[in-house]
Amino acid sequence: MRFVERYNGSGLILDVERLIYEFRGIQNIQIFETKSFGKMLVIDGKVQFTERDEAFYHEMLVHPVMMVHENPRRVLVIGGGDGGAVREILKHNPREVVVVEIDENVVRACRRYVGIDRGALDDERVGIKFEDGFKFVRYCNTHFDVIIVDGTDPNPVSQVLTSREFYDCCARICEYFVTQSQSPFVQSEHFKSIYRNAKFKNKAVYLGFVPSYPHGLWSYLIGSDVRDIFIDLEVLRERFEERGIETVYYTPEVHVSAFALPRWVKDVLSK
């Protein structure tokens, strides 16, 4: 059997052994066993992760923002019900992680059939709320050191998470913010609008490689109204050492170089 995800006239093909699980609720959730990428979560026809490369994505989503903060204690995750991001966050030893996931079925399915959280979702410091992320930040009056948005491609359920109002609410309650910001190559309109709507005083885009996402090149946006986004390599190296973090993709050197954007990516953002 073959799984295909299409993006405007091109796409991804993965051979699959079988469909392990499927549930149609507010989103269509599927879990496949693939031939060469391990288990794979697909939501509404789009690959969310494969076991083989999910660490590339989750590490680059989480570590840059957690590393620029000298002591991230309270962290909010919007989306991320599979627990991959939470697993990486716990490597920084925070005091509390709040996960706000709109679709309970994602958590249930991933816990039962995949387990990339490796127990992180059951950690006593982690609390999960099944509610709308936008409503949560809008009415939230506590402060977070870091907010991490791990959403799906903009669709009727998730597009509010790329709106100006959403980013403004986040800016009000956190020091540092990060969101995945789609493929600059095949989703340049989404990528651009995320960049425009995120009106943080300081902001920057960085890139990473995720083979199972549209053509492999993925982007992230980091922002802060109150703090600097760029930290010296020496400081990053010290922190990385001190925190004793083990990774397969992220290193302090990768962190610094990820912010170097190809000319065409800069052009997409400025036009």
Minimum distance from CB of 28 to ligand AG3 (Å)?
14
Per annotation, catalytic residue among 150, 153, 228, 267: 150
Return the residue of 3, 32, 37, 49 that touches ligand AG3, per CB under 6 A.
49
Residue the block writes with tokens 């930040």: 137
Strand order, beta sheet including 28-34: 2-7, 10-24, 28-34, 39-43, 46-50
Q: Which of these segments, 13-21, 67-75, 145-153, 200-208, binds ligand AG3 (CB under 6 A)?
A: 145-153
Report the residue number, 106 or 231, with the smaller CB distance to ligand AG3. Answer: 106
Minimum distance from CB of 231 to ligand AG3 (Å)?
25
Report the residue number, 80 or 252, with the smaller CB distance to ligand AG3. Answer: 80
Return the residue of 51, 153, 175, 194 that touches ligand AG3, per CB under 6 A.
153
Return the residue of 137, 150, 200, 245 that touches ligand AG3, per CB under 6 A.
150
Minimum distance from CB of 177 to ligand AG3 (Å)?
16
Return the residue of 72, 154, 208, 214 that touches ligand AG3, per CB under 6 A.
214
What whole-number distance in Å separates Cα of residue 51 and Cα of residue 194?
A: 27
Are 8 and 50 contacting, i.e. CB atoms less than 8 angstroms apart? no
Count of CA atoms in the C-beta half-sphere (13 A) of 111 = 11
96 DSSP assignment: E
- C-alpha dist (Å) from residue 29 to 110, 165, 190: 10, 28, 23
Q: Is 150 noted as a catalytic residue in this protein?
A: yes
**Which tokens sit at 229?**
């986004």
Q: What are phi and psi of 266, to 5 degrees?
A: -60, -40
**Which tokens sit at 163?**
């709106």
Report the residue number, 120 or 231, with the smaller CB distance to ligand AG3. Answer: 120
CB atoms within 10 A of CB 217: 17
- Which x/- pattern, by CB under 6 A, does the window 219-258 give for ligand AG3? ----------------------------------------
Q: Which of these segments, 21-29, 133-141, 147-155, 236-244, binds ligand AG3 (CB under 6 A)?
A: 147-155
Residue the block writes with tokens 């982007």: 219
Residue 47 binds ligand AG3 (CB under 6 A): yes
Minimum distance from CB of 94 to ligand AG3 (Å)?
18
The residue whose Cβ lies closest to ligand AG3 is: 46
Are 3 and 32 contacting, i.e. CB atoms less than 8 angstroms apart? yes
What whole-number distance in Å separates Cα of residue 79 and Cα of residue 103?
A: 8
What whole-number distance in Å separates Cα of residue 51 and Cα of residue 83?
A: 13
Chain positions contacting ligand AG3, by CB under 6 A: 5, 46-49, 80, 82, 84-85, 150, 152-153, 180, 213-214
| Residues classed as catalytic | 150
